[in-house]
Amino acid sequence: MFRLSHRGLDVSEALRLPGVIDVITAKDVPGQKVRKMFGYEEVLLAETEVSCVGQMICAVVADTRVHARRGAAAVKIGYEDLPEPLFTVEEASEKSSFFEPRRMIEKGNVAEAFKTVDHVHQGEFRMGGQEHFYMETQSMLVVPVGEETEFNAYVSTQWPTGTQDAIAEALGIPSNRVTCHVKRIGGAFGGKVVKTATLACITAVAAWKTNRAVRCVLERGEDMLISGARHPVLGKYKVGFMNDGRIMAADMQYYTNAGNTVDESPLVVEKILLHIDNAYNIPNLRGRGAACRTNLPSNTAFRGFGVPQSIMVLENMLNDVAMVLGHPADQIREINMYQGPSVTHYGLEFSPENLRRCWDQCKGKSDYAARRRAADRFNQDNRWKKRGVAIVPIKYGIAFAESFLNQAAALVHVYKDGSVLVSHGGTEMGQGLHTKMQQVASRELGIPPSKIYISETSTNTVPNTCPSAASYGTDANGMAVRNACQTLYQRLEPIRQKNPKGSWESWVKAAFFDKISLSATGFYRGPDLYMDWDKMAGRPYAYFTFGACFCEVELDCLTGDYRVVRTDIVMDIGRSVNPSMDIGQIEGAFLQGLGLYTLEELKFSPAGLLYTRGPSQYKIPAVCDVPLRFNVYLLPDSHNPHAIYSSKGIGEPALFLGSSVFFAIKDAVAAARSESGLVGPFPLDSPATPERACLACASPFTQKIPASTPGSFKPWALNMVSFMSNQKQQKPTLTGQRFKTRKRDEKERFDPTQFQESIVQGLNQTGSDLEAVAKFLDASGAKLDYRRYAETLFDILVAGGMLAPGGTLSDDLTRTEFCLFTAQEDLETMQAYAQVFNKLIRRYKYLEKGFEEEIKKLLLFLKGFTESERNKLAMLTGILLANGNISASILNSLYNENLVKEGVSAAFAVKLFKSWINEKDINSVAGSLRKVGMDNRLMELFPANKRSCEHFSKYFTDAGLKELSDFARNQQSIGARKELQKELQEQMARGDPQKEIIAFTKEEMKKSNLSEQAMINIIWTSVMSCVEWNKKEELVTEQAIKHLKQYSLLLKAFTSQGLSELSLLLKIQEYCYDNIHFMKAFQKIVVLLYKADVLSEEAILKWYTDAHVAKGKSVFLEQMKKFVEWLKNAEEESESEEEETD
């Protein structure tokens, strides 16, 4: 935590830079400089105090992104340290640093119940945060319009009205001067509500001050640093239960890491406490929750809004109960599940019938009992691989507990041609809301969806909207659209009665001429929900969405790596408006939950700086993480009177089901631990990364790791989620661990700055002596952590210091003049540098991947380098490619649109290929390019208007690379042949007349300058590829004869020369040899083509005597023996008849 010093904020140097228009500070805000939430104030721009790394102080406005970044780097800020910052919930709790109000809810008498149970168990569970990682980062454009201080804001937000109000307050103008437009959002997940409005306010101030349109788009790293994430949680629990597994009492405490501002944290805490029962009827239940105020970036709403954290702690508690008793976890869940007419811990009555149905059907669909037995057998047979299974339920409350948010409006226009325009207050962010609204309008108006269009969500068409959140978007907006459409339909009733057989268009036109309004607003007043925290009772939700999920995983106990073998989900979503879309939502939510509980981990430095800023450090689920078998079932015969068309909200509930992967991993870990004689509850926090899973297995290898001594190490990152909890359990632990290793293998722990200084200092000492540089790097790898700081290392070796995005050197002063970019620009020097990199990577093999990634990055930064720097990099890259140090796939970076457009790619390629060919030859280049599928893409080095063979040839020939030009021309010819073959196959598949195919082929043959021999080969391949052949040898011959007879006319048209006939015969021979089912069909195919006048006897005899190839030679010659003898005899008889005639 810092205070701006007396030097404060100095923007003078930034303002002198070219392209910088202005720098916006708190003093420039004409209206409210703060935003108020829950009695707390959040400043738009820090003025006196900075409470976290990532808090915004000023905004640089420039004409380009590059100029803006340079301007931001030139801003000088003076700080004074304030007392010790707080980063973890433990630190915040110790200092009583909370955002009020703290909440508590209780049912029954917990204290008394603990006295009557058979067992009492205490534990704790930690969950890390989760980055939203939406595809489109925070983005907005604010445009001043008109003369009355009016603004159009085009914002990627879930709450247009919230953004509109915030901008109006910041500018000190009425809301009617601000229009917020949202076309669609590239993902949000809750992360585009509060922080988006703050960023929009700053952008609007910039637009107001400059009177120009201002766009703000955060880069991924900035977005992750500024916008906050899901709340990390520490859950503590005490549970009392009976010998049969019935839980009689539970006392649960939740501490969320809210960050430096309040945001929506109190609401998250409330929702956590409202879901601490999940699907279980615990007669005595108490929950307490607090939002801890820390000096990390403020955390915010995220899909599930605290429920995934809440239920995760509860389910972990149930797992502990099962382990204490030695009972199956599903049995403990089932015995405690709600049954019959039920009441939640806050007094809401509901029926759990569909919850039980989901549970039972999930067990049935997954064949749970059999899978459980199979996993146990697998575990008995395998020591280092274990399988685990788990099944979990979900009961999720739908709608906002804050009643005023349960409303929606819509505006529907019908135009004279019968087309319909629908506007509503919800935002489309990939969840399919617009599609569902079209379906509602279609159903209510009785017209096809093709006549209905939704342009955007805008505050000037539908005012005072509520956020698209809480899985309530379809429910609320659907009802509003339905209301508007019903109004219009009723207005048209007199017209329909007059002309009952008329069309929709005729009714609309008639209504217009009858002066009937064809525009209507719709409104939905949602249920009056509430929660009285003083009485600890209320009705905060309209209804519940239920579900259950089974999961099976296979775990590698030595590495902690796992694979999801199977997942089965059963969800109760009522009568779905769009089942395919809802299934997609379930699948996506499950994968996002899988990421939360097993993969995604936010890491902060000891000073509170987020390390994991971008996909290279932060891993979200990929295609390889999708379960090998993934089944989603919708519960049949389900009805819901509380939502449109008896449907249910589905956006958020299924996310928690990803925890089934976590619990399946924990089940597999328990099986591994039993091999070491360890039974009973054990700690495994979330996310269950491979490291944590491996350590939790407590194999003989990990148990050899000594316990860490407090104070003997300096952690490289904050311990937000421990590797093993603080409970007194068996070691090992890795957090801050000092390993007992041989001295030469010990690594000194450095932060990025110290690492950079060490490398720079070493290079300055070795100077331009590259032999000394190589020795220094070799020795340093034993002490410095090259694996962690590979990017820093290569940046310094190439550019002399750390590179900022775009290719400019970062503004720190830790640089060296001894690097690639400052070396002499000649081939000999570049070869010496290539040797340095080669030795380094051969010595430390793990740097290979990092080095390739560095080269890819450098190629994308080419515009930021000087021409000389580009030339050196090109020569080095060519040498490295020739020596096989890197893959040719790195050249994909050269196809970047901006590099191609400005000619940078082509110029760079000239130098690169020259050095490559100089080291090897054109055959080496060709082979490498073919290997990565880039042999046909060289034309893409030029802009589309110059992408011709002639231009390519001239450009590279003039540059002294004729061999590359010839190679490209040859590749283009091969490409043209492939395209022709593909087109022929399509024509044959369509059944085009052979005369048309022949005409087309002859034209293409002439255009591509192809010989008849080449053409007949293409035709044969096309003919044989356009049919699916029978796999049975005895049937394929008959099929082939029938098929070839059909195309004999086509084949005949391109065998007018003897060489063409021989080419065809050789092609047939190769084909029959390569496709084993055709081995016996060769002779019959040749005879057929002879009878069809495709092949002459001269060609056949020539092939038989000396023109055949080695492939299948003996088999095919034997097959043809009798036919050839017949041909020879027939020829002799013909000759003798001619002699007699003479």
- Which residues belong to the active site? 652
Give the whole-angstrom CA distance, residue 103 versus residue 532.
Answer: 11
Q: By C-alpha distance, which of 299, 227, 244, 304 is closest to 272?
A: 304
- Asked if residue 661 lies in contact with residue 600, where contact means CB atoms within 8 angstroms, the answer is no
CA angle 742, 743, 746 (to 5 degrees): 90
Q: Residue 176 gets which letter from DSSP?
A: G
Give the whole-angstrom CA distance, residue 647 versus residue 576.
Answer: 5
Tokens 């004869």 locate to: 1041
Please, which residues have CB within 8 angstroms of residue 367's CB and are 6 or more apart in sequence? Answer: none
Give the whole-angstrom CA distance, residue 763 versus residue 775.
Answer: 11
Q: Could you write out the three-class secondary structure of 101-116?
A: EEEEEEECCHHHHHCC
Residues 779, 780, 781, 782, Cα dihedral to 10°: 70
Rg for the chain, CA atoms, rounded: 36
Q: By C-alpha distance, which of 638, 752, 595, 9 is closest to 358?
A: 638
DSSP string, 641-654: TTSGGGB---TTGG
Label residue 90 exposed, middle or buried (CB < 10 Å: 0-12, 13-18, 19+).
middle
3-state helix, strand, coil in the chain (%, to 5): 50, 15, 35
Strand partners for 142: 153, 214
- Asked if residue 1005 lies in contact with residue 1040, where contact means CB atoms within 8 angstroms, the answer is no
Q: By C-alpha distance, which of 99, 104, 102 is closest to 537?
A: 104
Q: Which amino acid is residue 610, in one-letter code?
A: L
Residue 445 zone, left/alpha/beta (φ > 0; ψ -120 to 50; rest): alpha
- Residue 188 has a CB neighbour count (10 Å cut-off) of 26
Strand partners for 216: 140
Q: Indicate the angle between helix axes 1082-1091 and 1033-1046, nearest 10 degrees.
A: 20
How would you classify the pairing of strands 407-414 and 519-525? Answer: antiparallel
- Asked if residue 352 lies in contact with residue 334, where contact means CB atoms within 8 angstroms, the answer is no
Contacts by 1028-1032 with C-beta closer than 8 Å and gap 24+?
1029/1075, 1029/1077, 1030/1077, 1031/1077, 1032/1077
Give the whole-angstrom CA distance, residue 659 versus residue 975.
Answer: 49
Strand partners for 629: 566
Give the helix/strand (H/E) hosting 296. Answer: none
Half-sphere exposure of 948 (CA within 13 A, CB side): 5
Residues 6, 9, 12, 18, Cα dihedral to 10°: 160
Give the whole-angstrom CA distance, residue 1010 versus residue 1016.
Answer: 10
Q: By C-alpha distance, which of 289, 278, 262 is closest to 311?
A: 278
Strand partners for 948: none
Give the whole-angstrom CA distance, residue 182 versus residue 174.
Answer: 20
- Residue 145 has a CB neighbour count (10 Å cut-off) of 12
Give the whole-angstrom CA distance, residue 718 versus residue 736.
Answer: 10
How would you classify the pairing of strands 537-539 and 40-43? Answer: unpaired
- Asked if residue 252 lies in contact with residue 241, where contact means CB atoms within 8 angstroms, the answer is no
